[in-house]
Amino acid sequence: MSDSTKEYSDVIDRRKFLTLAGASGAAALAGCGGDGGETDNEDGGSDGSDGSDGSDGSDGSDGGDGSDGGSTTVVDQTHSSGLQADPTNRTLNNHNTQIASEPARRLAFDRYAAYSFETNEFQLAALDDWEFENETVTLTFREDLSWSDGSDVTTQDIDTQFQILEKTGSAIWGYVESTEVVDDYTFQMNLTGPTNPVMVKHQLGNMWIDTPHAAFEQFLDADASEVQQWNWEDSDTDVVTSGAWRYVDKNQQQWNFERNEEFHSIENVNFSDYQFDAYQEASTPQQDFTTGGGRFDSVWSMFAGPETVDAFQDYVMEVQTIPAKWGYGMIFNHDDPIFGDRAVRHAIAYVVNRQELVDNAGPRTKFPAEIPCGIAPRNIDEWLGDTKGQFNDYGVDESDQETATQILEDAGYSKEGDTWMTPDGEEISVEYLTPGGWTDWTAMTETVVDRLNDFGFDVSIATRPTSDLFGEYIEGNFQFGGFFWLPGQARSTFPYFPLRHQLVLDALDGGHSYDTESDQTIPAMSGDGEMTLNPLEKVEEIGTVATTEEAQPIVQEAAWHNNYDLPMLSLVSKFEQSWVTTDDWNVDIQEGDPERGIKWPPFWLPRAGKLTAKE
């Protein structure tokens, strides 16, 4: 995805998002390459515990710090990582709503904590500790945190960050009522009410030491738009970083960084320079990896099919251990007389063969939603438990047209010849919206449309540039189409986030018009009688309990509603494809290593001493 996208956990208003989508281009939706972030984008998993039991989830590691203080032999070598963007149109100001660079942020700044999909635990980084007690969260930061100019990072910087995040409407303030500076390294968050700790952890895991008071004090009394439009590098304010790399300069071809000697774990980094090498065409790194051109040492996110990968040079290494918690789904306009009809959604779920989508778009990196219920595929067992057998899987590896036909006929639909007609006698002739330029999504869209046409719907594919696609979705100017059904990142391991995403769809300003206000009566989970619930209130209830054990029955009821009403259709998820080369670089990641499962490898591994220059 394009790195100009912000975290989708942040609520994006309609006008802002339209501007963002236009700037991002197709990459904003697909998340399959470029300089983008994580619609992904953050960390999705082999799945299992995510610290939702209320413990701090830390394995005791502080992010791979070295211990011998300065004995590292530094190789005069530059690591060149691919960036599908013009660096002069990007910035390290992460409060900029249009051009903040996701990969540059991960390179230049230390993060509060990272979630490892290898261990299914949070790994503290800039934080030394986090304590959750009732409705208070106490953050203790490392005392050896420094900015690249040598000044200390203190809670004055953290306080400035939180003030600006409140001004700009960051998602963290959906949990926080107030904050307090306790001392230079201790910061307290007072929550709005009872809150599941794992939800707060996932928000903190997407925060970075990126707002030095000296640079951002000027915006504390300014309108939010001023900091949101500020290009740090083009200003007179010195750019300072807190991560392993210090900003040097940039132009249209390159974004240059050098080893930050002030970084607390700099002994892990044994090479001198890091640069982003800009390219425009998505195929450019693939060609370089195939011909052995040597231009790129890594590409942080790039989709490549099996035949393409087979042609790569032997030294090109795919790091494919991190599930995206993101993927191809189907969105419905619930105001539409056809797709607002649950019977039609049920019929489509039976007709679409989810395994066929995977087979046609890349089984190496994709896998189907076992049960369409709004929970990430590889988290389903742990959350549904013994109730899993009660859920409808709609046929994960078949196209059950017989059942679909019975459902539609029972709802008053009929066939004239080979074409389905509505109860009002109108032919079901519709467009299926899809983003242009992404081969895996295109393959899945073509498969969906072929199946539906074979069933008797008259469906044509309407391909749109991403900015136009988002615009039509936001305006409600569509009937159905392809859209991501998981919000992405580690947070999608916790069902609250994907279940809420499908109901509210902040990313599209609720353009699918799903009714979150009314109670709904649906069949009871027991199979006997009915149950009544407000779907959004049920999902929000998940976030008010402290442990997985307390949350599980609430999750099951929310997932049961999702599985029956299908606010969106969960179809396919995927593994990330991240690439590093080993001709000039040592890559030391073993099975079970926490560093192996943290996004994104080209940025995290050097920090941890797991990607080093060959001497």
Would you list the DSSP string of 438-497?
A: -HHHHHHHHHHHHHHHHHT-EEEEEEE-HHHHHHHHHHT--SEEEEESS--SGGGGSTHH
φ, ψ of residue 578 to 5 degrees: the values are -120, 145
pLDDT exceeds 80 at position 162: yes
d(CA 351, CA 354): 9
Sequence-separated (6 or more) residues with CB below 8 Å from residue 206 = 7, 9, 42, 489, 491
Residue 27 Cα to chain centre, angstroms: 13
Tokens at residue 115, please? 């979630």
- The pLDDT score that the predictor gives to residue 71 is 63
pLDDT at 524 over 60: yes
The candidate with the shortest Cα–Cα distance to 44, out of 540, 388, 377, 501, is: 377
Q: Structure tokens of 110?
A: 């230390």
Q: Among residues of the chain, what percentage have pLDDT more than 90?
A: 79
Q: What is the rounded CA–CA span in Å between residue 160 and residue 156?
A: 6
540, pLDDT greater than 70: yes
The stretch 529-544 carries a mean pLDDT of: 95
Residue 162 tokens read as 């939180």
To the nearest whole number, what is the mean pLDDT of the chain? 89
Question: pLDDT grade, residue 7 (50/70/90)?
Answer: very low
Alpha carbons 573 and 357: distance in angstroms, whole number: 11
Q: What is the DSSP letter of 5?
A: P
Q: What's the Cα-to-Cα distance from 196 to each of 136, 425, 434, 549, 590, rounded to whole Å?
A: 12, 50, 36, 11, 32
With beta carbons less than 8 A apart as the criterion, state whether 478 and 512 touch.
Answer: no
Please answer whether residues 2 and 24 qualify as being in contact, where contact means their C-beta atoms are separated by less than 8 angstroms. Answer: yes
- Quick one: fold of 14-285+576-613? D-Maltodextrin-Binding Protein; domain 2 (3.40.190)
- Compute the average pLDDT of residues 434-453: 93
What is the structure's pLDDT at 51? Answer: 34
Residue of 320 and 259 predicted with greater confidence: 259
For residue 135, the model assigns a pLDDT of 95
Single-letter code of the amino acid located at 249: D
Judged against a pLDDT cut of 90, whether residue 304 lies above it is answered with no
**Is the separation of the CB atoms in 328 and 444 below 8 Å?**
yes
Neighbours of 591 (CB within 10 A): 7
Q: What is the band of 56 on the pLDDT scale with cuts at 50, 70, 90? A: very low
Domain boundaries, the chain: 14-285+576-613, 328-409+484-574
Of the listed ranges 347-356, 359-368, 399-408, the one predicted with least confidence = 359-368
Q: What single-letter amino acid sits at 373?
A: C
DSSP tag of 56: -
Q: How confident is the model at residue 58 (pLDDT cuts 50, 70, 90)?
A: very low
Residue 69, burial from CB neighbour count under 10 angstroms (0-12, 13-18, 19+):
exposed
pLDDT band at 98 (very low <50, low <70, confident <90, very high): confident
pLDDT at 199 over 80: yes
Q: Which residue has the higher pLDDT, 423 or 33?
A: 423
CA 182 to centroid of chain Cα atoms: 32
Instruction: Give the mean model confidence (pLDDT) for residues 475-499.
Output: 95
Mean pLDDT for the stretch of residues 124-129: 98
- C-alpha distances in angstroms, 415 versus 31, 80, 403, 453, 515? 39, 59, 15, 13, 30
What residue ranges in 260-376 does DSSP mark as E strands?
271-278, 298-299, 316-319, 328-332, 366-368
Q: Name the DSSP class of 234.
A: G
Residue 232 pLDDT greater than 60, yes or no:
yes
Q: Rounded distance, CA 252 to CA 280, Å?
A: 11
Residue 546 confidence (pLDDT): 85
**Alpha helices (H) in 352-429, listed in sequence order:** 354-361, 380-384, 401-410
Amino acid making up residue 359 = D
- pLDDT score for 63: 40
CA-closest candidate to residue 253, choices 381, 85, 505, 132: 85
Q: Would strands 480-484 and 429-435 be described as parallel, antiparallel, or unpaired? A: parallel
**Residue 421: pLDDT band with limits 50, 70, 90:** very high
Protein fold of 328-409+484-574: Dipeptide-binding Protein; domain 3 (3.10.105)
pTM flag (> 0.75): yes
Phi-psi region of 385 (alpha: psi -120 to 50; beta: other; left: phi over 0): left
pLDDT at 323: 86
